[in-house]
Structure 1
């Protein structure tokens, strides 16, 4: 008769690992660093995950401390496989323990130039516009808004803007066309960038204010930078880069410095396409915003 093995240690360790993942998510929620990883609309799934990990972890720990006498076995015909040696067990569980440990030991970082160089750079917000090339292809996109003249029309839900309706988008476009001063806000960043690109002839000569981190392509001149922002839909993994080409006295600025730029909208040619450009009148360094990312909420079809 085959001797029954005691898998209590495996149950116990797996329960501890689940509790570890739960505590890591709980730490990210407490410190609000979770906002650097996922969009606010995804938070409800994180709360649910924390609850499920806690329940499953506790159940496995209880099962692991009850001993072989009280171990449970399913009635399926196949035999469940567990690591047969200490070496295999160590390798298997380290795959889960290392991410938990590094999550507690290292702080979360804001995405910057090192990530942007491998992502799409939207300098016009339209995927059909010219592409910046630096190893991988990158497209262009912009979005301005006017705080002094334009009031935000979007609704904010859990820190993330809801999609604009077609009517709201049309009103925003009309306001931007009528005003001379445009201040690009975080909640309307992407739709305003789209409007500037789509209506560039009407935007030329207007004064625009925007903020973001300094990004440079390898072929840029010393007076050229992109004032960039990462836009996310669900999480940092799907982040794309939005920004506006800017020219001025920027040679001394280091990459990833956060700046606020005010200047005049002009048009220029880049990589065979016409894109908007800011001729800088004023630039100042700023601290990284509490929410460094913007959200591409899209347009709601009515």
Structure 2
């Protein structure tokens, strides 16, 4: 039994390493990894999985070597029974034998096995409107930080229509959103798709008055909070900056006589006309709904910021 103890330790370490490497590979292959981290971090996770796999291969080598060499399996000092000198534990000042304490081993390996089992056995589930009650929803957070347009804003450079540039005067902090706003202004229907969702919302709220009367289409979940009228709700999306720990809800106020017929957290696809309103002392856009359709929640319901969106304009 004494000789089997080191083998058990090596096997447990091997299974833990292979378990984590395999689980990360599975999440990446299925796309569920995006429920936990933003796309720009996926490459880092893939590299981590590859590193874990290499460690597992090395651990397998140690396991095989421990069974084919007449050496103490847990000894890492490089001494073995083939050396023609003697040493004991007093010479080293430490023991090479794995711990025999059941409690210590359960605690040590449990720190790794428990989260792995929870990840494998529990379903991958996205957060929706229920999280907003603790964090609050962001409606009207604009790139400029306020709904008022400072007097020192200047037109954008370039060859665009001078009248259009005059509408989207900007300071240096708001310039990228002004460029995006000009692109949105030219569209017959503003589509709030997953790509650039956050950036579009920033541009629309930063220049809310410019978009009055424009048609908009958006898909999201229904959320309500105090201060909204009976004919209003917020259509929202959860935004992930880096990982699941920093998700934040963003939304737009929607207005329709049928508002009460939509259940909280239900997903809807709405089309309407942009108007403006005041929300928490800010001028923001609202949607006067003309058409609503029930929608299925996306497999990956989050939206993500595009840090390089300005370069793609």
Please give the secondary structure, in 2, of the residue aligned with 1:110.
coil
Match of 2:103 among 80, 87, 91: 87
1:175-254 aligned within 5 A: 175-179=183-187, 181-248=189-256, 249-254=258-263
TM-superposed CA distance for 1:189, in Å, is 1.4
State the shift of 1:169 in Å.
5.1
The alignment covers a number of residue pairs equal to: 264
Aligned residues of 2:211 and 2:274 also touching (Cα < 8 A): yes
User: Secondary structure of the residue that 1:118 maps to in structure 2?
Assistant: helix
1:173 matched to 2:181? The reply is yes
Query: What is the CA–CA distance in structure 1 between the aligned matches of 2:187 and 2:73, rounded to whole Å?
Result: 75
> CA 1:291 to 1:78, structure 2 compared with 1: closer, same or farther past 3 Å?
farther
Aligned-pair distance for 1:244? 0.5
Contact 1:18–1:57 (8 Å) recurs in 2: yes
Superposed CA deviations along residues 217-240 of structure 1, whole A, max 9, x for unmatched, are 255444322111122222222222
1:64-75 superposed matches below 5 A: 64=63, 66=66, 69-74=72-77
TM-score (norm 1): 0.75
Alpha-carbon contact 2:140-2:279 (below 8 Å) kept = no
Give a deviation string over 1:140-182, Cα, whole Å, max 9, x none: xxxxxxxxxxxxxxxxxxxxxxxxxx98755432233344532
- Is it true that 1:106 corresponds to 2:122 in the alignment? yes
2:58 is the counterpart of 1:42: no
Structure 2 residue 306 is the aligned partner of structure 1 residue 297: yes
Is the alpha carbon distance of 1:288 and 1:93 closer, same or farther for their aligned partners in structure 2, counting shifts above 3 Å?
same
Q: Which has the higher helix share?
A: 2
String of CA shifts for 1:241-271, please: whole Å, max 9, x gaps: 2210112212122222211111122222222
Name the SS of the counterpart of 2:263 in structure 1: coil
Aligned-residue RMSD, C-alpha:
3.1
Matched, 1:257 2:266: yes
Structure with more of its chain in strand, by fraction: 1
Correspondence for 2:12: 13
Gap regions ≥5 residues in structure 1: 131-165
How far, CA to CA, are the matches of 1:36 and 1:80 in structure 2? 44
Unmatched 5+ stretches in structure 2: 79-91, 148-173
